[in-house]
Every structure is written in structure tokens, then in C-alpha cells.
Amino acid sequence: MPADDYLDLLTRAKQKLPETIEKHERFSVPEPDVFQEGKATTVKNFGDIVDALRREPTHLLQYLQRELGAPGYVDSRRAIFKAKLTTTQIAERIQSYTETFVLCSECGRPDTHIVKEGRVLILECEACGAHRPVNVRKAARVEEKEGLKEGGVYEVMIEDIGKKGDGVARVDRFIIYVPGTVKGTRTKVKINKITGNVAFASVSSEAPTR
């Protein structure tokens, strides 16, 4: 068969192929369906999000708890956090999780799985065969973004009392524990330590940090 005829046959065969064979289905993660009640926040479609990501519910939950600085648990196909959180806050963290633990850095496909080699988590792509270490974003980047820093002095409102009797305040996405304070009072505190989105502080008489 002449080369020209062969190429013509290939072209016509390709034109008859269904579009789904030529193009991958677009990867899409559902937008979190968030409902607030009192001091709790419920992600009603948490199960749908986990299904789209193809990851264990507990793995995503643990990541969100650390990044949001809020305790939570899974109830059926919902996730409930014991803090007031916005849809944007949750959606941003899910996007970060997706980029870190799901999407292949080489081909961008979500067809991946996580394996553990020693103490290192490796993301392996089933589509292109690429593999890379999972690099979890450090909490320090959140601290820099929000502006809360260790050694800084801030004026806060004590909104609640923790289980150990410490006052609890909130600045942006941070939960701040302040011993020796009373609920409903506004006071100046000095940040002694920041761990993720949780800060530990003491009452201060210094001028607030600007």
C-alpha cells in the first residue's frame, strides 16, 4: 500500500474515534458544601470530595485539622469541625491537599497513589509512571501570610475557655491559648509559640505589634 494511502486511512480512522478516547475526562473536585451551626462547621459533601480525590477520609481529615487549627471528626459522609470556618478557608486547604497529595507534578493527572518508603511518602503516578516525594507545606508559610509571629504582642478578645482553663482567642485562622484570662475580656497578649495554626501566649503589658 502506498504511504499516502496508508496515512489517509489513519487520518480517517482517527476522525471516527469518539472524543472520549482522545481526551481525558476533566478532573474536578466538588466545592465544599459548608454549613455553620453555633461554633461548629459541617462540610456536608466531605464524602464526595474524598471520592473524587481517591484518598482515605481520615488522611484528608487529619490534614485539614492541622492546617485549619481546628479539631474535627467524620460523621457518615460529613466532616464536622469544632470551629467557625468559612467556605474559602476550607476550599483553599482542600486545593492545597490536592496539589500535594493527589496531582502528578509531571503530567498533572490525579491517577496517583501514595506509598511509603521508610519514613518518606512517595506519590506514584499510574498514568505516566512518575514518582516524587510528598513535600508537605510547612506551617511557617501560613504564619507569614497571616502576619502572626512569635514574640509579637496583640490585643485579642477572649472568646471561650479551654478544657484546661486557659482563655481562647482567635486571630484570623489562629487559635490562641492564654492562661489566666477570663471569657469576654479584651487583653494584650504576647505570642510565645506557634505550632501550625495554634498559638500559645501570655498576658502582656507591652504595646500591641503593628
Residue 7 domain flag:
no
- Cβ distance 188 to 204 under 8 Å? yes
- For residue 109, what are the domain limits? 34-139
Higher pLDDT, 150 or 10: 150
Residue 118 domain flag:
yes
Same domain for 44 and 113?
yes
Report whether pLDDT(120) > 80. Answer: yes
Task: Identify any residues that bridge with 87 across adjacent strands, giving them in sequence order.
Answer: none
- What pLDDT, in 10s, does the model give residues 45-57? 999 999 999 999 9
- What pLDDT, in 10s, does the model give residues 88-98? 999 999 999 99
Coil, helix or strand at residue 103: coil
What was the pLDDT predicted at 177? 92
Same domain for 72 and 135?
yes
